[in-house]
Every structure is written in structure tokens, then in C-alpha cells.
Structure 1
Amino acid sequence: MTSLALIIKHKTQPGKRDEVRKVWERHMAPAVSANPGHLAYFYCFDNADPDAIVAFQQYASAEAAGEFLKTDSYAAYLQEVEPLLSGPPQVTTLTPMWSKDV
């Protein structure tokens, strides 16, 4: 199987970035930490835009990514976070070719 990586950029409603982060920490941080399908995950604030969040995720496979989107944790996160966002995220799908092992 080939791993799958995603770069996801969210735009929040003006001034709501910290609130979105709290929702993410409540629902997604524990779910991602417990998910063996996640090989790497970076949740980042965009330094150039106070209303932007960028996440880099690497999954073991496309199937692992699809399964994660079906979890109760992800559904609860979406329900709570969507009103705080300005619209759907910008998603870039990537195939990792090399990475540095830490």
C-alpha cells in the first residue's frame, strides 16, 4: 500500500481561530493520537493569516484516511466546527515519495 498525505487549509470566521483550535483539541487530538492509520499529523496556524489553519496529515493508506472520516469523533468535530469556518477547506492530496524518519 502507498501512504497518502493531505494538506488541508481552513479559513475561520474572523477572529474564531482560537475557538476552532479548542474544538479541534477536544475532538481530533485524542482521535488522531489513538488512530494507527495516522503516520504523521501537524496542526498549524498560518503566520500570514490570523484566520487560517493548515493541517498536514500522513495516513498509512487512502483506505485508512477514508475510515477515519467515518468515525464518531470526526462527525462530532464537523458538527461543532462548521459554524466557525468561513467555508469548506482547501484540500491538496499528495503521494509521499520520501520522508525523514525521526
Structure 2
Amino acid sequence: MRETSYISALCILLLAYLFGGCSQETSPATSGNADRKELTEYEVVPAPDDYLLGLPVRLKYEGATGNLFIQDLDQKKVVEMDMGGEVIAEFGGEGRGLVN
């Protein structure tokens, strides 16, 4: 279970890098003139059972639409997300065949 949490956290960091960290612009932090702000709102950290993904293994970025496809082995599905991180569609699920 702990390994799944690490993989989920890694996937979230990868998504943050893909959607927010690919900018060519320089930020105020790199120029030495960073503004400091006090945090007034805090987000609740979700429990591991609340994660969208269990065991993400493949990512595919579709440049034409800006959507990201993520294959999740644990939940046996593919999730399509937009640039804002919202789930657009989910494909697949548990099969009905016999397990050998």
C-alpha cells in the first residue's frame, strides 16, 4: 500500500511539472526579487483511498488537445485528464473473463 502512495505522489509531481513547469518565462524567484506571502488557506491532504490513481504505469500527452492519458494497472482503466487536472473520461474496468 505504501508503494502505491509513493507512485501516486510521483505521478502528481509529474503532472505538476508537465502542466506548470514547462514555461520558458523567468520567474521573480530566479531574478532575486521574490515576493513573500503568508499562507492563509490550507488544503486538506487526501487519504490514500481518495486518490484517483492506484498504480499509474503509462502516460501519453496528446498535444492537439492538451489532454493527458494515464493507464492505471491497479484500477484496470485509462483516465483522460485536461490541462486543469479535471477528469474528462475513464475507459476500461474489471474484466468478466476467467482468470487462469
TM-score, with normalisation over the residues of structure 2? 0.31
Structure label with greater radius of gyration: 2
Greater strand fraction, Structure 1 or Structure 2: 1
TM-score, with normalisation over the residues of structure 1? 0.30
RCO higher in 1 or 2 (8 Å CA, sep ≥ 6)? 1
